[in-house]
Amino acid sequence: MEQSGATILQLEGVGMRYGATPALHDIDLRLTAGSFHFVVGPSGAGKTSLLRLLSLSHPPAEGKLVLFGRDVAKLDQEELAAVRRRIGVVFQDLRLLDHLSAFDNVALPLRINGASDEQISTSVSQMLTWLGLGDVLERRPAELSMGQRQLVAVGRAVMCRPSLLLADEPTSSIDQAKAQRLMHLFLSLSRLGTAVLFVTHAEQLVRRYPFPVLSMKDGRLRPPVPSVLPMSA
Ligand SMILES: Nc1ncnc2c1ncn2[C@@H]1O[C@H](COP(=O)(O)OP(=O)(O)OP(=O)(O)O)[C@@H](O)[C@H]1O
């Protein structure tokens, strides 16, 4: 885990395009270890695009993107893969592997990192049980509800204790009680040093937690607004 306060990512004047169409403009952002930010904004503001950029799923068109102290423009494929392994992502479209069970989807990052079968068996079962999915470990995504799939995607994203967690509306299909549980999971990770970016349309969630809010509009990021609310979770 990162030392609290260490810079996890830094963006300077970053832009991103889909083909010739600009999606993000002139983004400046610095996130430190253990920080937690909500990302809000209207549909089409660029929130998912920002997460695609930060998860290295889509390249910047201009500007500088530094992750874990490395300028990503200067990294080779192997180094990029190592950087990606430190990032947990809950994609809006989840991107679960259809042919794998819930268990094997969550186990995937551990397998990639070379964990033993015993480690995998214990930690994946524990995580899925904690998420309330203990009864459906062997089901494939098509046999799960949308909310259950979302929880599997969260389990997979956090399994290797990422240094950076990017979550795109991870609570959109689950009930309030489960959403609270996920918030506790994300908060525990951030206390251990993970920098968390949480994209959401859920205003009650943003109001409830005392974390700075990054607001996006028309592909631009406004400066963070520090929350003045007391901790109520
Ligand atoms: N794959 C793509 N190809 C071309 N344009 C895209 C693509 N994905 C998004 N866009 C465009 O980029 C802009 C930003 O979209 P993005 O999905 O990042 O917004 P968002 O804030 O996440 O929206 P929402 O809250 O609806 O998920 C929009 O104008 C959108 O139409």
Give the mean model confidence (pLDDT) for residues 131-143.
96
C-alpha dist (Å) from residue 180 to 19, 68, 102, 183, 185: 38, 29, 21, 5, 9
Whose Cα sits closest to atom 28 in ligand 1?
44
d(CA 142, CA 227): 39
**Taking the CB of residue 75, how many other CB atoms lie within 10 A of it?**
15
In angstroms, what is the span from residue 49 Cα to ligand 1's centroid? 6
Residue 225 has pLDDT above 80, yes or no: no
pTM: 0.92
Token pair in block for residue 142: 């098509």
DSSP category for residue 87: E
Mean pLDDT of the chain: 93
Q: What confidence tens digit (pLDDT) does each residue in 68-108 have?
A: 999 999 999 999 999 999 999 999 999 999 999 999 999 99
Question: What distance in angstroms lies between residue 210's CA and the mean position of ligand 1's atoms?
Answer: 28
